Amino acid sequence: MLDSVDLFPRDDRVTLVGDHPDIELSWAEISGALAGSDPDSDTARSRLRTWVRLRAGLARLGDPTLYARPVGLPPGHPLHPGPQWVQTRVPGEALDLGLGVLGLLDDPDEVVVVPPSLLRAAGIDISEWWPRQALELERTGRLAAERLLREGAAPLRPFGDLDVLTLLGSTAYRRALCEADPVGWRTAAVPMRTRGWLDLGRIDPAFAAAAALATEPDERGFERAVFVTPEEIVMVSSLGRSARHALEDPPAGVDPWLRGR
């Protein structure tokens, strides 16, 4: 009732009803959805609500293979479902690639990351999904790079159904960006999944970290700047306490007549 979910609890299962075929959830599946959280806690209710909404969304879609999309996320990201979700790890260990499903929830244009355990519970075999999605990622990455190079100094932004993090998972995308630079590699700040900036010589070193902290966790990108080459993505080491260091810098010399009185 609290989450506007129509269901009928029974001794051995729960039946979800609504604008989709009826879905049978065993109590074992529900226990797995809680992932060990206290059943009376807000965390448990949030996890179960998300699980139920995803299961209902899969039932509405029909054939989910038509809506599968690649997704890139840094390890430890709030949306990252864990090692079992990873199909490919980009060398450098800053970015993992896995599967999402387009239009699974309220926004028809949103690609939603789905835990493999939920897909298994829904009886969906994804073992053959990734090769096709990997090819699509490379094709889209080439097109996105061509657009970016035509636009010159424009920021990195999504292309089609793929956000900036996912595009950086494309070898073709990274290669095109790096070949356009005489050095052969690029620096980038991608503090959010939908925006990024290349070549950070004119950007405050603390910008990437500060912008990431100011972004909602689910929409966050890389927490720090990254080095991008055709072969890998490497996150730079911690900048330390940049704000304190800036405040400790001595003030610039000012002529006495310019000082406030």
Per-residue pLDDT reduced to its tens digit, 172-206: 999 999 998 888 999 999 999 999 999 877 676 67
| Residue that is last in its domain, among 42, 61, 80 | 61
Within a domain: residue 71? yes
- Summarised one tens digit per residue, pLDDT across range 198-254 is 987 767 667 788 889 999 999 999 999 999 999 999 998 765 454 444 445 455 455
Within a domain: residue 260? no
Model-level pTM greater than 0.85?
no
- pLDDT band for 261, please (50, 70, 90 cuts): very low
Q: Where are the alpha helices (DSSP H) in 5-110?
A: 27-34, 42-61
Within a domain: residue 261? no
Host domain of residue 30:
1-61
- Spatial CA neighbour of 28 closest among 7, 40, 15, 12: 12
pLDDT of 6 strictly over 80: no
Helix (H) or strand (E) holding 25, with range, is strand 23-26
Task: Please indicate, yes or no, whether residues 78 and 125 belong to a single structural domain of this protein.
Answer: yes
Task: Please indicate, yes or no, whether residues 111 and 127 belong to a single structural domain of this protein.
Answer: yes
User: Burial, 175: exposed, middle or buried (Cβ in 10 Å; 0-12, 13-18, 19+)?
Assistant: middle
**Model pLDDT, residue 197:** 92
Within a domain: residue 122? yes
**Model pLDDT, residue 234:** 96
Helices and strands (DSSP H and E) totals, the chain: 8, 11
pLDDT of 130 strictly over 60: yes
